[in-house]
Amino acid sequence: MSTADVSARLQELRAQLRHHAHLYYVLDQPALPDGDYDRLYAELLALEAGHPELVTPDSPSRRVGATPDSAFAPVKHAVPMLSLDNVFDEAGWLDFDRRVRDRLGWELSVGVAYACEPKFDGLAVSLRYEDGLLVQAATRGDGSTGEDITANVRTIRSVPLSLRAPAADRQTQAAALPALLEVRGEVLMPRAGFEQLNARQLAAGDKVFANPRNAAAGSLRQLDPGITATRPLAFYAYSIAALDGAPWPATHTLTLRWLAALGFKITDLAASGPGPLFVQQAWQALLDRRDSLPFDIDGMVVKVDDRRLQQDLGFVARAPRWAVAYKFPAQEASTRLEAIEWQVGRTGALTPVARLAPVSVGGVVVSNATLHNIDEVHRLDLRAGDTVVIYRAGDVIPKVMRRLDDDGHAARAPVALPDACPVCASAVVRPEGEVVARCSAGLFCPAQRKEALRHFASRRAMDIEGLGEKWVDLMVDAGLLHTPADIYRLSAEQLLQLPRMAEKSAENLLAGIAKSRDTTLGRFLFALGIPE
Ligand code: IVH
């Protein structure tokens, strides 16, 4: 291939790779199978290796570079990175709205147009683009001076290394690529990625992160961008701090739309409309969805949509008068650790469980939290009577994050692994080098028996309709079930001895059991739950 041909092919490859990375990481709408993407990427790497002079700084191959000298050097923000005032309830929100209208000199009956969007629970980052190229990324720092984290931010796949040329948009009237653009937004780690990262960290004996926000912060502070590149971070753009060479969008809503056209990831949870009632409803709707979102949010940011009005309202001290954070109930709360108890699972694994003085976390009352294993208890140095911080988000099981220091701690008894199973008193064993301790009794242990039977009857195993947890417990306690085979020997008379078992339910249960006989070998083997 001639150099001109290579150059043309490189341009084509980069355009394709950018396009598909944009679909995948920014729009969450992958179109190309991973293998095809990998093949294009490999071709790009090979061509660039043969022609280093043709490598451009925004090539998809240039996300991970060497450890830079500039890492964490101070960056003075040309426009300070402000914070937001908080409100915590409807009264606080209505006060904010009233202050806005007072300032603007508006009648009570005229609704201000507001833009609402999630308050991301991550880290604020400022990105600087010159002539369409990403040249600098900085943390917020103290608001006026942050730290240079360009090399790490370049590894975040949803951060464009170069801006896309937006199609002319009649409403934003901004078809041009700005000569200068400073974009602000939030770097965060989605919950699923956070769980996977922690599982990897645990397996490798590395430190686990208490919550996605800490994981995102730790990932941005890596000295080696190669490590940051392995962390599942995302960047959501939410404002423009500086702009040259393109008209400034007239509203916040149009700003988001333009940022999306330039290639940034923006939230699909934004809503705009007039007056305080609209905002109150949007807040409730977002709160209702909070647990099902892929990432943590700690409230809703409400902004006066119109840029001219924003300018009229201006700033006080370190926060704008035109925006406010309307917070949600906190996902962290402190409470008393009443006791640490041991639960015995299907395979006999002993899991420590924290019994807590009931506390509301993110709007849900929590009174138990898993502690995983004895090493975790020791790592956190937990003792009954301590005050602990609980974290709960979405479907994630409540977690003990840390212990708060107090004078009484030293006098409390440290937790030790029990010698005997708390359920059947058989010996507890913990093989050399393993983190999990187990009750050695197998199906002789009622706890293991119950779990094994529950598993046997569960949906993905024998799928015995009607044989839920409650009945398994009652039948084991009544001595009706010792092994899974006993399920198929149950009679109506036996069932009717159980408390609150009616004739109709006994009939249905026996029908469910009979039906489960017709199954696949795969399900049957899975139901037996043979270790390893
Ligand atoms: S706008 C001038 N929008 O909240 C106001 N901030 O307390 C600039 N944050 O440091 C902020 N989500 O990290 C804005 N959708 C959002 C946000 C958001 C999270 C954070 C941001 C900032 C802090 C202010």
pLDDT at 173: 52
Stretch 50-60: mean pLDDT:
95
pLDDT at 160 > cutoff 80: yes
pLDDT at 436: 87
pLDDT at 98: 95
**How far apart are alpha carbons 151 and 287 in whole angstroms?**
35
**Residue of the CA atom closest to atom 23 of ligand 1:** 83
The pTM of the whole model exceeds 0.95:
no
pLDDT at 373: 87
Residue 372 DSSP code: -
pLDDT tens string 170-221: 555 556 789 999 999 999 999 999 999 999 998 888 888 988 999 999 999 9
pLDDT tens string 457-469: 999 999 999 999 9
Find the 85 Cα to ligand 1 centroid distance in Å.
10
**Residue of the CA atom closest to atom 21 of ligand 1:** 124
pLDDT tens string 350-387: 999 999 999 999 888 999 998 988 988 998 999 999 99
Q: Confirm if 361 and 392 have CB atoms less than 8 A apart.
A: yes
pLDDT at 175: 62
DSSP SS3 for 334:
strand
pLDDT at 210: 83
pLDDT at 168 > cutoff 80: no
Residue 166: pLDDT band with limits 50, 70, 90 = confident
pLDDT at 171: 57
Q: Which residues are catalytic?
A: 119
Find the 239 Cα to ligand 1 centroid distance in Å.
9
Ligand 1 pocket test, candidate residues 116, 220, 238, most atoms within 8 A of CB: 238
Which residues have CB under 6 Å of ligand 1? 82-84, 117, 119-120, 124, 140, 186, 238-239, 301, 320, 323, 325
Higher pLDDT: 502 or 317? It is 502
Residue 114: pLDDT band with limits 50, 70, 90 = very high
Ligand 1 pocket test, candidate residues 84, 121, 310, most atoms within 8 A of CB: 84
Task: Give burial (CB, 10 Å; 0-12/13-18/19+) of 461.
Answer: buried
**Residue of the CA atom closest to atom 8 of ligand 1:** 82
What percentage of residues in the chain have a pLDDT greater than 90?
83
Ligand 1 pocket test, candidate residues 79, 83, 142, most atoms within 8 A of CB: 83
pLDDT tens string 332-347: 999 999 999 999 998 8
- Look up residue 477 and give its two tokens: 């306690």
Mean pLDDT (the chain) is 93
The string of DSSP letters for 448-486 reads HHHHHHHHHHSTTTT--TT--HHHHHHHHHTT--SSHHH
Q: How many CB atoms lie within 10 A of CB 27?
A: 13
**How far apart are alpha carbons 481 and 487 in whole angstroms?**
7
pLDDT at 435: 81
The string of DSSP letters for 33-95 reads -HHHHHHHHHHHHHHHHH-GGG--TTSGGGSS-PPPTTTT-EEE-SS------EE-SHHHHHH
pLDDT tens string 68-99: 888 899 999 999 999 999 999 999 999 999 99
